[in-house]
Structures are given as C-alpha cells and as structure tokens.
Amino acid sequence: MRKSGLKVFGTAFLMLMTTAIFAQGRMEHDGEKGDRFEKHLERMTEELELSDNQVKEIKAIHEKQQEKAEAVKNEKLTADERKDKMKVLHDEMRKEVEAVLSEEQKEKMKEQMKERHQHKKEKAE
C-alpha cells in the first residue's frame, strides 16, 4: 500500500514537473519569435536603409498580423487549413510591407530574397 502511494506521488510529481518544463520552454520560444522579428527588422533597416517612419509602419503591420495569426492558431482547423490560412496572412503582410517601401527598396529586397533562397538551396544540396 505504501509503495503504491509513493508511485502515485512520484507519477504526479513527474507529470507536474514535465508540464512546468514544457510551459517554460513555450514561453522562451515565444520570446525568441519576438527577438527573431526584431533582428529581421534591424537587418531590413540596415540593408534597405529604412526611414524611422517605415520602421514604425512595418512594426505596426507585424503586430496586426501577429494578432491575426494568434486568432488562426486558436481556431479549430486541420493542419492543412491552418497552414493555408497562415500562408495567406504571410502573403498579406509581405504586400503591406512592400507598400511601405520605395521602388528601389522593393527591388533591393527582391534581389536579397533571391540570393537567400539560392543560398538555402545550395546549403540543402
């Protein structure tokens, strides 16, 4: 009887610790996403020579899209439906960001994207 009580306690403790570890990992992961966007925006600012106003507009676009993405994540969808909706949101965001850029910046961004895709392709081979 005493051994089974210890087993139950041990199992419950293990489950509690596992839940806490996963929750902590999720919070850290969410923070990384914000850091990743900030690093991406810094790189864009430098490479495309964004103005302060453009940076503010892009941040606002990103925040709005993040809210929409959270809403999609909370919907009861299949993995394919969620993926499709997230792709639509991503495409919307790219179009909105492009609207903020000058023609020269758009061309520069397209060229950089092409180079990055080529680099990824080469790296994968």
Q: Provide the pLDDT for residue 57.
A: 94
Task: Tally Cβ neighbours within 10 Å of residue 82.
Answer: 15
What is the per-residue pLDDT for 3?
Answer: 59
Instruction: Round to whole Å and give the CA distance between 93 and 72.
Output: 15
Per-residue pLDDT of the chain (125 residues; tens, 9 = 90+): 555 555 555 555 455 554 544 444 444 444 555 688 889 889 888 888 999 999 999 999 999 999 999 999 899 999 999 999 999 999 999 999 999 999 999 999 888 888 888 877 777 77
For residue 29, what pLDDT is reported? 47
Name the one residue in this structure whose structure tokens are 């179009």: 95
- Can you give the pLDDT at residue 22? 46
Q: What's the pLDDT score for residue 63? A: 92
pLDDT at position 116, please? Answer: 82
Query: pLDDT tens-digit profile of 25-59?
Result: 444 444 555 688 889 889 888 888 999 999 999 99
pLDDT at 123: 77
Looking at residue 76, its pLDDT comes to 92
Q: What is the 3-state secondary structure (H, E, C) of 61-86?
A: HHHHHHHHHHHHHHCCCCHHHHHHHH
